Amino acid sequence: MPVMLYDIPHRTGVALEHETLLTLAAHPQIVAVKDAKDDLVATGRLMSECDLPVYSGTDGLNLPL
């Protein structure tokens, strides 16, 4: 079954580490990331280093992402 990761640290208390996201991106069942950590630099870095689709989890960042 396909899985979308949801990085939402303000609800879970911890953000997914960059290296963890890159490792998970290589797994065939991981198909996307929904990002709600509100850090455009970190999200841009992730987008440049893997080809998973990244969706905005914060309404105000929909356009920049």
Candidate list 15, 22, 34, 39, residue with the active-site label: 34
pLDDT at 30 over 90: yes
6 given a catalytic annotation = yes
Buried b (16+ CB within 10 A) or exposed e, 19-30: eebeebbeeeeb
55 given a catalytic annotation = no
* Structure confidence by residue, pLDDT tens digits, 33-52: 999 998 999 999 999 999 99
pTM, rounded to two decimals: 0.83
Rounded mean pLDDT, 14-33 = 96
Distances in whole angstroms, Cα of residue 29 to Cα of each of 13, 14, 16, 18, 32: 25, 23, 17, 18, 9
The label of the residue with tokens 């580490």 reads 17
Q: Please give the mean pLDDT across all residues of the chain.
A: 93
* Structure confidence by residue, pLDDT tens digits, 3-12: 999 999 999 9
Candidate list 6, 24, 30, 50, residue with the active-site label: 6
